[in-house]
Amino acid sequence: MSGQWGKKIKYSIFGESHGRGIGITIDGLPAGTKLDMDFINNEMQRRAPGKNEFSTTRREGDKVEILSGYFNGYTTGTPLCAVIFNENQNSVDYDKLKDLARPGHADFTGKVKYSGFNDYRGGGHFSGRITAPLVFAGAVARQILFHKGIQIGSHVLSIENVFDNYFDAVNLKNQFLIDILNKDFPVIDDVKGKEMKSIILKAKEESDSVGGIIEAAILNVPCGLGEPFFDSIESNLAQLLFSVPAVKGVEFGSGFDITKLRGSKANDLPYMNKGSVATKTNNNGGINGGISNGMPIVFRVAMKPTPSIAKIQSTIDMDTFENSEVSITGRHDPCIVLRALPVIEACAAMSILDFI
């Protein structure tokens, strides 16, 4: 099991979805970093379940308790350890499923990998619930980045086949990201947001689920960050992003669409802008050669539909190795995209902070 990530700052996650609690230890933070607990708690609430009709009915306060590395409002320089105790598990839902491989889940692969000793309840360590500690870590990282002028934000770019407007990757400003952050349904075009809501609720009524795309941006990153080849901005951040359950695709800048352009159009032409180097376009997403170039770092993440659905699906019995059927009852999100926004932003903050 690989539960650690980071070089200059090391993060170690622990816990299972239906265990006593989940948490993270952060080693390498400088002493004297002031932590705004109100900001941290607000980030935790953005990800927390049970807030609205688009989310699971499982209600977890996601209250963070810091066990070490924090005193009188500041980090002490020792490992910062935080735990979130699970308060609303309903493990009985999984007793009848323990031998059935839920489609789209890691039940079968996890059982093979760990010889059947893995905690299968709610997905155990494979659960999306384990992203809550990442949000805490990201909230800590973001506060350090704030003091360096670095702003991170995201929006729901699409749900199923309904798309919001794309970020203006050249002229994106801090306040624009803040304004979207303050929305209950974070999209640029609220009319499109209303269509997305309808799609989610329709899938919920039909005992199904939908996926979507998150577009995120990191502003005011200084030029020169990144360690090519194997620790470039893209490879470092992508490793974190692909560790998030449900993420199936990551692209930077124009991503796959850049293949539709000629080189003369794809190239971001540099020019002097009030004494600083900027580019006229941002097809490369603020990165050249794996190194930040000073333009906004823009990337998108594809989130698959929530695999836990009540529709009857075919599967196998992992005990008898016979064909079977399964219907997953319990409390699940009809769409995970909304609650994943702060998780994706957290990954961005953790990655950039490690370079700085």
Which residues sit in the known binding site for FMN?
125-127, 289, 304-308, 331
Which residues sit in the known binding site? 47, 125-127, 289, 304-308, 331
Residue 224 contacts residue 294 (beta carbons within 8 Å): no
Radius of gyration of the chain, Cα coordinates, nearest whole angstrom? 21
Contact 18, 122 (CB under 8 A): yes
CB 10 within 8 A of CB 121: no
Cα separation, 139 vs 44, whole angstroms: 8
Q: What is the rounded distance in angstroms from the CA atom of residue 338 to the CA atom of residue 329?
A: 22
Q: Which residues are annotated as a binding site for NADP(+)?
A: 47
Structure tokens at 261: 């352009």
Q: Which residues of 303-333 are buried (b: 16+ CB within 10 A; e: fewer)?
A: bbbbbbbeeebebbebeeeeeeebebebbbb
- 115 CB-near residues (< 8 Å, 6+ apart): none
Spatial CB neighbours of 323, under 8 Å, sequence gap ≥ 6: 314, 315, 316, 317
- Cα separation, 142 vs 345, whole angstroms: 9
Q: Give the length of the chain.
A: 356
- CA–CA gap between residue 66 and residue 331 (Å, rounded): 28
Taking the CA of residue 47 as centre, how many other CA atoms within 13 Å lie in the half-sphere pointing to its CB? 25
| 99 vs 122: CA distance, rounded Å | 13
CA 14 to mean position of chain CA atoms? 17
- DSSP 8-state class, residue 30: P
- A 10 A CB-CB count for 87 gives 12
Cis peptide upstream of residue 39 (ω within 30 degrees of 0)? no
Q: Walk across the sheet containing 151-159 and list its strands.
A: 162-163, 151-159, 212-219, 297-303, 247-252
